[in-house]
Amino acid sequence: MQLLQLLFKKSFSMIDWKSTAIQTADIHCHIIPFVDDGAEDYEDAENLIREEYSQGVRVIVLTAHYRNGAFDTPINKVAKKYKDLKKWISTTDMSDMVLLLSREYHCDERLEALLDGYSSGQEEIVFENKRYVPKEEIVPFGKHKCILLEFSSNKMQDSEFEIFIKKASQAGLIPIVAHVERYPAVQDRPTIVYRMKKHGALVQVNCESLLSKAKTKECEIAQGLVRHKMVDLISSDCHDLENRPPKMKKCYLFLKKKYGVSTADELMRNKAISLIYGEEVGNCKELVLNVRNKA
């Protein structure tokens, strides 16, 4: 845990907000190699980061999957790959890119046990005959201690939303519901998102959903939620360059044209930056300078 805290503290660097390039923050992606269904190796990871940078992204939260029985990569291995990427990026012409580490937590029984242990300050828990250290397995990002929560895209869930949002909040964390437009319950009753937010959750949707030309149910829900101001963050959820590439620039321009520059800035930069650096701001340039002066 101390290693992760040290890496987090070193992640803050001055971002050149004066640049004419689009400046955004991506808080949901699968770029760390060898740990989930995202980047397969370092070359893939580096190419994804270069692509994000070329699209104007300057802050990336690397959110490796964490799902019992599917994605179980030990946190020390995830942290090692993250540290390798940070070391690599410092040698490139992208040294102003900020990389942060977290996870995308699937809301299952193991996560419930970990959140309970984290909240009560337990040094260790046992789940399915395996020992876990909650303070190591739960890796929030930003000064507001945010975590990304993933629910089932196949099951019609309802009470699960409230249960996990409340447990995360009680643990002193800010829950962010990942790609909310995917969930059958939300597609059936979009108003359920009001309940999520009432219980303290922030809501994230994917660029791909907003930009879909097929006008899928996910696209309909995502655009409807943005239109009704129910979305807090828009992210890439990128996994690779072929099938699930980052589309941050294209999405920003879409939002800017359809809803205005203030909406595009808020959903793709300002909210994320305020969560990470710990202040509510409208001008990210001032925020970054303030943080640097405080360091």
Full residue range of the structural domain in which residue 144 is found? 2-13+22-289
Answer whether residue 61 is part of any domain.
yes
Confidence of residue 17 (pLDDT cuts 50, 70, 90): very low
Average pLDDT for 1-28: 60
Contact 232, 176 (CB under 8 A): yes
Q: Please compute, for residue 152, the number of CA atoms within 13 A of its CA located in the half-sphere on the CB side.
A: 11
Tens-digit pLDDT profile for residues 78-107: 999 999 999 999 999 999 999 999 999 999
Determine, yes or no, domain membership for 294.
no
Number of domains in the chain: 1
Closest C-alpha among 25, 62, 53, 100 to residue 272: 25
Instruction: Decide: 210 and 251 in contact? Cβ < 8 Å.
Output: yes
CA distances for 115 relative to 108, 110, 166, angstroms: 11, 9, 10
For residue 201, the domain's CATH number is: 3.20.20.140
Query: Would residue 277 count as lying in a domain?
Result: yes
Predicted confidence (pLDDT) per residue in 241-281, tens digit: 999 999 999 999 999 999 999 999 999 999 999 999 986 54
Is the separation of the CB atoms in 136 and 5 below 8 Å?
no
Residue 248 in any domain: the answer is: yes
Nearest residue to 18 via CA among 216, 284, 221, 242: 284
Is 295 a domain residue?
no
